[in-house]
Amino acid sequence: MDFWALIVLGVVQGLTEFLPVSSSGHLVLLSNLFGIQDSLFVSIVLHVATLLAVLVVLRKDVFQLVKHPFSHQGKCLIIATIPTCLIVLLIYPFVTQSFEGAILPICFLLTAILLLATDFFIKHKPFAAGQQISYKQALFMGVMQGFATFPGISRSGATICAGLISGGERENVAKFSFLMSVPIIILSMALEIFKLCQSGQFPSVNIGGLAMAFVLAFAIGVASIKAMIAITQKVSFKWFSLYLVGVAILMVAL
């Protein structure tokens, strides 16, 4: 696997994981352009890098969850994770096939529509500052996270939109969305390692390139988290929506 191709993937992962444009969709798109095999394995490894970014930026929240796993937020995280896991188990064969990229333009368009609809819905809706995520909101966000397993459907976009539509406070919704990724990425990595050990066929990956991509994804991911928390509060989602429409059209045209 080409060293510089992996570097590009690491940068893109860091930039797009926490923006509502689907990092996995961009990784699949670029992997196809670069002729990279094992895009699912590379995607999961780079997602672990951005998982570490979440643990660093939201370390206070993570520490509180570890210290008080059955606090309100801890229970919300459990409630969100359960439907995600159930949905992923049901649709997993379709998800693995989707990493070939055939339905990528459709998934990008679905994310664009969701972002635009959410932007319209919440434009003039008041929110109470500091309002905690409710169990109902956590459940809805967890369901959306399950379907966002398909590349092209943004995990952060789908979960943040679900939280906002169901009445969540913007900053808390964004932070909870990022926290939700922690158990899912850990479980995904564990499943991928199990499959590799079971098959005995390990991907042919440039270790140096993947390591450098990992570091870049982590460093850029830290900045992206902070940016997305600010964006959720102030910036319209329509610009991300227009970008995804443009990418989908370009993919179909080419």
CB-CB contact of 203 with 41 (8 Å): yes
Residues 200-249 pLDDT 10s: 766 677 888 889 999 999 999 999 998 888 888 777 888 999 999 999 99
> Tokens 């959306």 appear where?
144
> pTM score, two decimals?
0.89
For the stretch 154-207, pLDDT in tens is: 999 999 999 999 989 888 999 999 999 999 888 888 887 787 777 776 667 788
Rounded-to-integer distance, Cα 211 and Cα 49, Å: 10
Domain ranges in the chain are: 3-253
